[in-house]
Each structure stands twice: as structure tokens, then as C-alpha cells.
Chains A and B, each alone.
Chain A
Amino acid sequence: NAGVMQNPRHLVRRRGQEARLRCSPMKGHSHVYWYRQLPEEGLKFMVYLQKENIIDESGMPKERFSAEFPKEGPSILRIQQVVRGDSAAYFCASSVDHGGSYGYTFGSGTRLTVV
């Protein structure tokens, strides 16, 4: 059981470039969540997805950020035209059901640095 897999672990982008972060949930989990951890801040919810559906994106910035979870393949968090303020650790979590009755499992995160 490989757990929640995130890649890349570290990503460096210049201002204005695009960043793509990938997340493969645990085997048997069909619910995916993205969280962002800014320096010296707590984890903040961004978006909740099921296969081919965005269920709750209330924590996503309105511009430049998008997420998908296609029928096949990993979930993708996409940040267009990155700015320095996007530098953070982005964590993906997965669960068996939407309420996390059996818990949420987190990946090791992608650390994005914008230079």
C-alpha cells in the first residue's frame, strides 16, 4: 500500500510560469482534497474532488488556480502565472468517503518555490 503519492516533491518556477502538482490517492480512495501550507501558517483547505467532479472549491483562489481529478490518472492542481506569494507546501489527502469516516491520509507534499 503505497499511500498518497505526490510529485514532484520540490518544484521551482519563475514568476509567470505554470506549476502542475500531481496527486495519486491511496488505493481504494476516490475522494481527494488539496491543502496549502504557507510559511508560518496552518494548513488551509483549497478544494475537494471526486472522480471527474469538483465538489467544493470554496478555498481556492478565484484566479490562476484550478484542479481536476480525471477518470483515469492522478488529480492535478494547476497554478497559472505563478507569483512569489504562491510559494508554499501543497498537500493532498484522500479518503474512502467524503466525510472521512475512516480518516484522511495525507501525502508528503509538494514544496513550490517561486523565484
Chain B
Amino acid sequence: EDQVTQSPEALRLQEGESSSLNCSYTVSGLRGLFWYRQDPGKGPEFLFTLYSAGEEKEKERLKATLTKKESFLHITAPKPEDSATYLCAVQDGVAGAQKLVFGQGTRLTINP
């Protein structure tokens, strides 16, 4: 069964303090790994899709990387507006490419 584990559950940083969020996964055959941002009371907002080990993608202060067992979301010099829950999800190319299996999320708080 596909599994996604995110750590830490919650992370509190000072503005400008860089850090990384972890997403460990177990999947039959990875078709894609997705990162989403979710603000309170809203739906997930797409950030990145990674497809193969070694791939990296960047968007503003965020950079996502992928290995065969985990993905990292690096946040460089974060600002208070980066506060949100960050969700990781995998898409299984063997068991069914039509659904995403999500982790529990990391709740990130950036203090000014």
C-alpha cells in the first residue's frame, strides 16, 4: 500500500530562517510526487510536480528536490506570508494514476 509520511508535523521559524520539510514515501511505481500549499479554510494550491530522482524545481523562496525514497521542500529566507500547511502527495503509476495519496502535512509558521 502506498504511504506518505511528512515531518515535522509542525515547524515554527523566524522570518529569514531557512529550513527544509521532509516527505518520505513508499510507492509501487512513482509516476509523480506533488507539493501543495494549503491555507486555513481553503483548498490545496499546486506548487510543484517532480517525476524522477534528481529532479529539482524552484518557485520564489521554495525549492523541491526528489530522491528515490523522499522529497524535500527547502524554504529560503521565509516571510510571514509563507505560513501555511504544506502537503506532499504521490501518484502511483502501477496501482492507479488517477488518485493522489497525501501525507498529513507540515504546518509551517513564520514569525515576523
Contacts and interface: CB of A to CB of B under 8 A. Distances in A.
Nearest to B95: A58
A106 B43 CA distance: 6
B43 A107 contact: yes
A31 B99 CA distance: 11
Consensus secondary structure, chain B interface: strand
B101 A45 contact: yes
A33 B87 contact: no
Given A55-B98, A56-B98, A104 B31 contact: no
Contacts of B78: none
A105 interface: yes
B59 interface: no
Given A99-B31, A103-B46, A103-B49, A41 B100 contact: no
Contact of B42 (A45, A58, A59, A108): A108
A48 B24 CA distance: 25
B32 to A, nearest CB: 7
A57 to B, nearest CB: 11
A25 interface: no
B25 interface: no
A91 B45 CA distance: 12
Contact of B100 (A6, A56, A104, A108): A104
**A6, A106, A107: residue with the most chain B Cβ atoms closer than 10 Å:** A106
Interface of B: 4, 31-32, 34, 36, 41-46, 49, 87, 89, 91, 96-105
Given A56-B98, A109-B42, 19 more contacts: A4-B43, A33-B99, A42-B4, A42-B102, A42-B103, A43-B102, A45-B101, A48-B99, A91-B44, A100-B32, A100-B100, A103-B46, A103-B49, A104-B46, A106-B36, A106-B43, A106-B45, A107-B43, A109-B43
Interface of A: 4, 6, 31, 33, 35, 41-45, 48, 55-56, 58-59, 91, 98-100, 103-109, 111
